[in-house]
């Protein structure tokens, strides 16, 4: 924003007059940039697009290191294969398990279930308050699902101990398979999140971190400018406020603006402020202005450039 205001000062100086003309309003273009960062810290392995490139929704953008995530997926798949093997071997007859051990395992599973459900409820509350991401909520749901499946498995296993019958044994093994499958789903989800994708059509504004550098939730890799996410910022003198309500169309001109560019006023601040020092003259020094924003119609200028806005003739 400081750079944009400096550019704006230059535009006023070039105009050949130390005063802001009465026939127009000066402002600058501002962009609503979005930072792309991984859910968990890691090292950047590849960046698949460069600054200035246009990217589309869902396209792969950044590849993070995923050694631990791959290992977790492989371990879960091995456990799932073993669980399937035990299920297939159930026809051989029931073992003589210890009832006390089975009850202890069920108690442990229930304790883990309670903790997982409490964590899910807390995460859901934070998600509704927009303090955590959808990924955190999905992860908490997966943990709760795994805990529920684990309790079901332990409950069936205890039933098998007390009533050793093939049907109960098979149900317990099915629950075990379900629990491990939930863990595998969770591991695969975490692995998928190591590839950062484009959330919406946009242009890459700046690459912040490069291959080999560490990135994380507070250390973004890419800054995106979504399509249509630019707007004009300008200041309306107090004595002209009544004639420029929200919805007023304005013509826009600048050195690099497309012809026929216009804008509609979308917001006006409720409180006035003094004219920004870089644009006021002795005449304007004591005037109060209201900060306003407008959305462009007919094209999007580049963020940071100074612009002149005038009310369109009717």
Q: Low-confidence residues of the chain, pLDDT below 50?
A: 1-22, 92-94, 164-165, 280-282, 285-286
pLDDT at res. 10: 45
pLDDT at res. 183: 94
- In the chain, which segments carry CATH 2.40.30.170? 2-32+229-311
pTM for this one? 0.58
66-193: CATH number: 1.10.287
Q: Where are the beta strands (DSSP E) in 90-229?
A: 195-197, 202-207, 214-215, 222-226
pLDDT at res. 91: 53
Show the CA angle centred on residue 13, arms to residues 11 and 14, nearest 5°: 65
Q: Which two tokens stand for residue 270?
A: 């409720």
Topology (CATH level 3) of domain 2-32+229-311: Elongation Factor Tu (Ef-tu); domain 3 (2.40.30)
Q: Rounded CA gap, 47 and 58, in Å?
A: 15
pLDDT at res. 161: 63
Backbone angles phi, psi at 258, to 5 degrees: -65, 150
Output the CA–CA distances (angstroms, integers) from residue 144 to 30, 34, 151, in the order listed. Answer: 43, 31, 11
- In the chain, which segments carry CATH 1.10.287? 66-193
Q: Which two tokens stand for residue 30?
A: 């501002």
pLDDT tens profile 97-120: 556 777 788 788 888 888 888 888
Q: Rounded CA gap, 69 and 74, in Å?
A: 9
Distant-in-sequence, close-in-space partners of 175: CB < 8 Å, separation ≥ 6? 149, 152, 153, 155, 156
**What mean pLDDT value characterizes the chain?**
81
Report the first-to-last Cα separation within the chain, whole angstroms.
33
């Amino acid at each position: 924003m400081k750079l944009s205001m400096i550019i704006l000062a230059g535009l006023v100086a070039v105009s050949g007059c130390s005063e802001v003309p009465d026939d127009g309003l000066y402002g600058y273009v501002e962009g609503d940039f979005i930072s792309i960062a991984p859910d968990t810290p890691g090292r950047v392995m590849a960046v698949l697009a460069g600054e200035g490139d246009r990217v589309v929704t869902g396209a792969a953008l950044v590849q993070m290191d995923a050694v631990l995530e791959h290992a977790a997926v492989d371990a879960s798949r091995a456990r799932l294969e073993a669980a399937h093997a035990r299920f297939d071997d159930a026809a051989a007859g029931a073992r003589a398990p210890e009832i006390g051990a089975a009850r202890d395992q069920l108690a442990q599973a229930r304790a883990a279930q309670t903790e997982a459900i409490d964590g899910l409820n807390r995460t859901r509350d934070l998600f509704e308050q927009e303090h955590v991401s959808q990924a955190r909520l999905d992860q908490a749901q997966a943990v709760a699902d795994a805990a529920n499946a684990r309790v079901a498995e332990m409950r069936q296993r205890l039933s098998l101990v007390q009533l050793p019958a093939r049907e109960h044994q098979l149900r317990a093994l099915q629950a075990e398979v379900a629990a491990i499958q939930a863990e595998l789903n969770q591991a695969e989800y975490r692995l998928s999140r190591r590839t950062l994708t484009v959330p919406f059509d946009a242009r890459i504004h700046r690459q912040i971190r490069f291959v080999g550098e560490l990135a994380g939730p507070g250390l973004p890799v890419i800054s995106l400018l979504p399509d249509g996410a630019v707007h004009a910022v300008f200041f309306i003198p107090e004595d002209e406020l009544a004639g420029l309500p929200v919805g007023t169309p304005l013509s826009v001109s600048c050195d690099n603006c497309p012809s026929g560019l216009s804008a509609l006023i979308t917001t006006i601040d409720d409180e006035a402020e003094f004219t920004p020092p870089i644009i006021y003259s002795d005449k304007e020094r004591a005037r109060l202005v209201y900060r306003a924003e407008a959305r462009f119609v007919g094209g999007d200028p580049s963020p940071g450039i100074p612009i002149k806005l005038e009310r369109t003739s009717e």
